[in-house]
């Protein structure tokens, strides 16, 4: 049945276009528009409206269902039920409507492993999160942190060699690389990275102390001349 306006008359195409401009997620407006177009003999555009409505309905359904399982999984974890957490995360992954949602589910699972200090598992799952949402800097940073916490400092440097675009606007990557460089004995590189991080954002007190200590170390190594 074609939807009606508040005054009781059937909406015109112009009414529905105005309505969709105000709310492009209005499924009933798309279906009403499809009926009018069909009656006018414009079958192709009517099909387009129906297909759009179906896509929006499926997206909304999956989005709600995926979010519901994600929330329930988090509640299981807060209640100490790890089995329930993984079971519901499986369904959250199944009903995730977009690659970004898939990445978020993997992120939650990887974070759980990271908090348990199971860094090898967390790295593998963070990698899956990043593969579904490669432009998300939080996923990339978490992946590198997991690698760093396994002592793979050289792996951190290799990973960051082709991530310059992300690093240029995010001080976290420079700070982490500075610690990796330091652990590999590359004091000069660590100093340069911390200096760049400081340009992007104010360093934490711990990083300021670390910066001061390696600056002193450089001066001692340089000698009096």
Structure tokens at 138: 């939080």
- Higher-confidence residue of 120 and 13: namely 120
Structure tokens at 186: 């590359």
Structure tokens at 6: 């508040």
Structure tokens at 204: 């934490």
Under the banding of pLDDT at 50, 70 and 90, the label for residue 165 is confident
Q: What is the pLDDT of residue 197?
A: 94
Domains and CATH numbers, the chain: 151-225 (1.25.40)
- CB contact set of 18 (below 8 Å; sequence gap of 6+): none
Buried b / exposed e across 29-44, counting CB within 10 Å, b at 16+? Answer: bbbbbbbbbeeeeeee
pLDDT tops 60 at residue 219: no
Q: What is the pLDDT of residues 11-26, one digit of tens each?
A: 788 888 888 888 888 8
Largest CA-CA distance found in the chain, in angstroms, rounded: 92
Helix (H) or strand (E) holding 208: helix 205-222
Distances (CA, A) of 73 to 56, 99, 121, 149: 25, 19, 19, 26
Under the banding of pLDDT at 50, 70 and 90, the label for residue 128 is very high
Nearest Cα neighbor of 15 from 24, 4, 25 is 4
């Amino acid at each position: 049945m074609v939807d009606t306006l508040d005054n009781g008359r059937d909406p015109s195409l112009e009414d529905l276009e105005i309505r969709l401009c105000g709310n492009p997620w209005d499924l009933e407006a798309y279906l009403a528009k499809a009926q009018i177009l069909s009656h006018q003999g414009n079958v192709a555009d009517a099909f387009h409206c129906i297909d759009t409505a179906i896509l929006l309905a499926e997206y909304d359904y999956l989005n709600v269902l995926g979010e519901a399982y994600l929330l329930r999984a988090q509640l299981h974890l807060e209640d100490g039920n790890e089995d329930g957490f993984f079971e519901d995360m499986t369904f959250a992954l199944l009903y995730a409507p977009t690659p970004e949602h898939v990445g978020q589910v993997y992120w939650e699972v990887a974070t759980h492993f990271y908090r348990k200090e199971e860094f090898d598992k967390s790295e593998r799952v963070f990698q899956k999160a990043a593969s579904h949402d490669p432009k998300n800097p939080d996923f990339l940073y978490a992946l590198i942190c997991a690698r760093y916490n396994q002592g793979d400092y050289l792996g951190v440097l290799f990973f960051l060699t082709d991530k310059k675009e992300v690093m240029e606007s995010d001080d976290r990557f420079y700070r982490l690389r500075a610690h990796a460089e330091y652990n590999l004995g590359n004091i000069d590189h660590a100093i340069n990275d911390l200096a760049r991080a400081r340009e992007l954002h104010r360093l934490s007190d711990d990083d300021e102390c670390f910066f001061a200590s390696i600056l002193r170390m450089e001066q001692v190594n340089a000698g009096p001349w």
